[in-house]
Amino acid sequence: MKNKISLLLAGFGLSVLLCSCVSTSATAQKIAIVDVQAVVNKSEQVQALKQEQQSKMQALEQWIKDAQSDVEKKELQADKDELVRKYNDELAKRRDAITKEYQEKLQEIDDNDVQTMNLLGQYYIVSDEAQKAEDCFANIKKIDPNYNDLYRDWAERFIQKGDEERAEPYLL
């Protein structure tokens, strides 16, 4: 019984000591909370890039309206279908070019941002640019070896492309 009480008192004393140490160290530390996204969004470079991107998207929207107008002018359904196929191919190329340029310019602003590198790598995956995707992967692992979101994201992109075999290493 005496041993149990001694042990209980020793445990209580240790917990009081730990609590006092924690409270002392907690008051000595200062913590700053920074909204990184807000800081990045205020960057002049990012703002300029966003503005440029918005202009390109508006131009693309106008191009789509013009394409729809061209299709409506065709009388035969076969001609309409052929023109729609042509415009869809061109739309995909333009959209991909805009996206790729945006990602690359964003990377130039901060090539140490793993999230940007991750997005760029995903773009390269869906664009069948395997070597560039692997370069992004290597850079991400060099910058932040613990950044594990890329495994899920890249696996999803490979699965989206129907390439389960290439997705598998990222799922493990």
Per-residue pLDDT tens, the chain, 172 aa: give them: 333 333 333 333 333 333 433 333 444 444 434 344 554 555 677 778 888 988 999 999 999 999 999 999 999 999 999 999 999 999 989 988 888 888 788 777 767 788 878 888 888 888 888 888 888 888 898 989 998 888 888 888 888 888 889 888 888 7
158 and 171 inside one domain = yes
Q: Which of 65, 93, 109 is the last residue of a domain?
A: 109
CA dist 25 and 33 (Å) reads 19
Confidence at residue 136, expressed as pLDDT on a 0 to 100 scale: 86
Question: In total, how many domains does the chain have?
Answer: 2
Which residue range forms the structural domain that includes residue 48? 43-109
Q: Which of 109, 142, 160 is the last residue of a domain?
A: 109
Contact in structure between 119 and 135 (CB atoms under 8 Å): no
Confidence at residue 11, expressed as pLDDT on a 0 to 100 scale: 39
Confidence at residue 43, expressed as pLDDT on a 0 to 100 scale: 63
CA dist 83 and 72 (Å) reads 10
CA dist 138 and 115 (Å) reads 14
Indicate whether 29 belongs to any domain: no
For the chain, what's the residue count? 172
Indicate whether 2 belongs to any domain: no
97 and 129 inside one domain = no
CATH assignment of the domain containing 129? 1.25.40
Enter the tokens of residue 67.
């394409």
Indicate whether 134 belongs to any domain: yes
